[in-house]
Amino acid sequence: MSRFLITLFSMLVCAVPASVLAVTLGSGNWNSQNPQLTVVRGRAVCLNSAGREVESPFGCTETGSRFGFASQDGKLYKFLPTDTMTTVFTDTRVRQRQLQLTARLHDGDQLEIIKVQSIK
Name the residue with higher pLDDT: 107 or 6: 107
Residue range of the domain that includes 98: 35-118
How many folded domains does the chain comprise?
A: 2
Tens-digit pLDDT profile for residues 70-119: 999 999 999 998 999 999 998 889 988 999 999 999 988 899 999 999 99
Q: Are residue 13 and residue 40 in the same domain, yes or no?
A: no
Q: Are residue 66 and residue 26 in the same domain, yes or no?
A: no
Q: Are residue 17 and residue 52 in the same domain, yes or no?
A: no
Q: Are residue 48 and residue 84 in the same domain, yes or no?
A: yes
CATH number of the domain to which 89 belongs: 2.40.50
Query: pTM (2 decimals)?
Result: 0.67
Q: Are residue 70 and residue 54 in the same domain, yes or no?
A: yes
Q: Are residue 59 and residue 7 in the same domain, yes or no?
A: no
For the chain, give the DSSP string.
-HHHHHHHHHHHHHHS-HHHHHHHTT-TTHHHHSPEEEEEEEEEEEE-TTSPBPSSTT---STT-EEEEEETTSPEEEE-TT-GGGGGGGSHHHHTS-EEEEEEEETTTEEEEEEEEE--
Q: Are residue 19 and residue 48 in the same domain, yes or no?
A: no
Q: Are residue 103 and residue 61 in the same domain, yes or no?
A: yes
